[in-house]
Amino acid sequence: MNGGSTPMAVSMSRTPPMIKIPRVFWPWQQKVKLGPMTLSPMGFGTWAWGNQLLWGYQESMDSELQQIFNLAVDNGINLFDTADSYGTGKLNGQSEKLLGRFISEFEEARNNIVIATKFAAYPWRLTPNQFVNACKSSLGRLQIEQIGIAQLHWSTANYAPLQERALWDGLVAMYDKGLVQAVGVSNYGPKQLLKIHDYLKERGVPLSSAQVQFSLLSMGEDQMEIKSICDSLGIRVIAYSPLGLGMLTGKYTPANLPRGPRSFLFRQIIPGLEPLLVTLKEIARKRGKTIPQVAINWCICKGTIPIPGVKSVKQAEENLGAVGWKLRPSELDELENAARDSPAKMIQNVFQTS
């Protein structure tokens, strides 16, 4: 029941994407295994799809978001990461709804599309059945019959340890009922990661993925320990914020900060990134790539599946140029040395457990 994609009927036609990337960029030759699924080496994150506060989402953007989705799928990307909490205020769940609409209009490729969604550990979700109901609600918004990867969005071990067991049992129930192909976690530290892996294994449920903040800005001891644990247990690391919320794009300086809440974080970190940004720029120039493409490719070379966020066709085109090639070992060393020489580091997610 959990071993393959579920065929889904579709009756709608889709509008062709405006742009197609030349075949040289197609990542078909690179595939990654995650549980029973075969994935593209990079996915697209959809946190911004519905988030007005941080990313300035407006419903007028939906047409371009559909173009992004079509462009990605047409060029070999089959993993899209979302969450049932993505979307602000009355737009809660908007990211899943948009993905559901876009999938329903993509007849020829939809059976290969893998949705990874995350379930929020809301304080009112106290039983496994409540988590199963959350999963069914997501399936409705996504207009699919089976979720690819069901992930716990964060652990409650630090503040509500009794709730944690219900969340884990909820994952087991989703998997046993065939609602999901694989299960994973997000924002779990090394200790909790080992605990949930063992708990699920005892119940016949493999832990297939661990989503963590992972980039040249976030390569601290916890990240590397998590990566080591995952490698030893056959768990695939999904790297969120591979561009450090935009700090690794090379577009921002202390005098040119983004608008909104991100500006406060950027003001603290950007001044200390010069060694890393200079190295990224130099390697990008030598390889005929862009800074974001090099930063994302570093994540791929480290054996993770990066999921950069996208909210414009231009960003999507650029991200697609991160696949189909690999940094040389000497370039990886250069980047990691520059990252260590840069005094600024990404602030850890407050939901990250130990």
Catalytic site positions:
86
Cα separation, 190 vs 140, whole angstroms: 33
Spell out a b/e string for 290-302, using b for 16 or more CB atoms within 10 Å of the CB, else e.
bbbbbbbbbbbbb
Per DSSP, helices labelled H in 57-209 are: 62-74, 94-104, 128-142, 161-176, 190-202
Token readout for 90 is: 């009355």
Cα separation, 167 vs 156, whole angstroms: 9
Closest CA to 339 of 302, 285, 286: 302
**Where are the strands (E) in the chain, listed by range?**
32-34, 37-39, 44-45, 79-83, 114-119, 147-152, 180-186, 207-213, 236-240, 305-306
Spell out a b/e string for 76-114, using b for 16 or more CB atoms within 10 Å of the CB, else e.
bbbbbbbbbbbbeeebebbbbbbbbbbbbbbeeebeebb
Cα separation, 325 vs 229, whole angstroms: 27
At 268, which amino acid appears? Q
Unique residue bearing structure tokens 């980039």: 215
Cα separation, 101 vs 96, whole angstroms: 9
171 with 182: CB under 8 angstroms? no
Helix (H) or strand (E) holding 341: helix 329-341
